[in-house]
Amino acid sequence: MSGLNIQDISMRFDLPNGGHVQALQNVSLDIKQGELMSVLGPSGCGKTTLLNIVAGFLAPTEGKIMLNEHPVLGPDAERGMVFQQGALFEWMSVRDNVSFGPRMAGKSKSDWAGNVDHLLDVVGLQDFKEKMVYELSGGMQQRVALARCLANEPDVILMDEPLGALDALTREKMQGLVLKLWKETGKTIILITHSVEEALLLGERLLVMAPRPGRIHKEYRLPFADLGVGKDLREVKQHPEFGPRREEILGMIWDMEEEIMGRTEESA
């Protein structure tokens, strides 16, 4: 079975005060090659933990992750990661950031130069190749991060709130870019977000997670990502199904947040 298989993952760790945290409980998920899955959930639902386990930064206490039929044991170039911000290397130019993966793999410049230039074209940074990353705006920096991840040609791209720190307008443009890159490259993408609209717009599949213990609450299959490729995303939001879905999921997350609040009040 190819693709990414998350098999009955549980994650439990001890706290210094003697207690323990059940961050994830029996999470299972199969993601096919080329799928874009967005993950939503209130804070503490374990979505970032799940992403870190898939990336190989954390080891689960139970279960395993299989990618294309081999187990995930640690970080690897086959699973690229895009962070919210601050993960670029300030001491390198835009081009050096984007070519970091191929350069570390020991590839010669002739092997990667064409692809890196092409990716910089795709993300609209062809005129900023020689600039240092700290000279760019936040939106441009995230485009560098996307290009850097793609230049390494991973099988799976893991995005941890990649657009979370951007302003609304830039964010909307970047959402279009993510969809475009997804369709053009056919990569498997897992995208964590706090924005219900973003999850609806980008996720071919949408996973809602619930907290304490972190688990899968509900899964949706959505048409909006396919509709939105190359289109104005504001039109997609006018789709008759979009509004009701948004309200449904918002309500679901609100209920969970309120439940958490209630529990903390009780314990306090």
Partner 1 sequence: MGQIIADLSAELATLFISILSALPAIVGYVAVILLCMLLVRVIRQRMQPTQDYTSLKTVTFGDESAVVSDKAASIISVVLIFVIWGAFTGTSWLPSLFHAPGPFLGQGTFTYTVEADDGTRDDATVTVVVHEAGAAPEAPEIAPGDGAAKDDVLVIQAYRSKLLTWDKNDEVNRKDNNARIVAVDGRPIDRDTDVDTGFARVALTDKGTLNVEPGKGWQMENIWLPAPDSVWSRLISVSRDGYQNVTLAEHLSYSLFRVIVGFVLGAAVGIPLGYAMGLSNWFRGWFDPIVEFMRPVPPLALIPLVIIWAGIGEQGKIILLFLAALWIMAIAARSGVSGVAISKVHAAYSLGASKAQIMRHVIVPNSLPEIFTGARVAMGVCWGTVVAAELVAAEKGVGKMIVAASKFQDTDIVLMGIILIGIIGFGIDVLMRWGEKWLVPWKGRV
Residues that bind partner 1 (CB under 8 A): 55-57, 74-77, 79-81, 83-84, 86-91, 100-101, 104-105, 132, 134, 145, 148-149, 152, 154, 158
| Smallest distance, partner 1 to C-beta of residue 231, A | 31
Residue 226: CB minimum distance to partner 1, A: 28
Distance CA(228)–CA(200), nearest Å, equals 11
Q: How far is the CB of 236 from partner 1 (least distance, A)?
A: 31
- Non-local (6+) Cβ contacts of 243 within 8 A are none
Q: Measuring CA to CA, which residue among 42, 74, 57, 36 is closest to residue 222?
A: 36
CB 207 within 8 A of CB 51: no
CB–CB of 6/28 below 8 Å? yes
Smallest distance, Å, CB 81 to partner 1?
A: 4
Nearest approach in angstroms of CB 234 to partner 1 is 31
Least Cα distance to 54 among 81, 14, 87 occurs for: 81
Q: Which is nearer to partner 1, 111 or 259 (CB)?
A: 111
Of 29 and 55, the one with the shorter C-beta distance to partner 1 is 55
Comparison of 66 and 260: residue with beta carbon closer to partner 1: 66
Taking the least distance from each CB to partner 1, the nearer of 91 and 254 is: 91
CA nearest to 24, candidates 15, 12, 42, 14:
12
Q: For partner 1, which is the closer residue by CB, 153 or 257?
A: 153
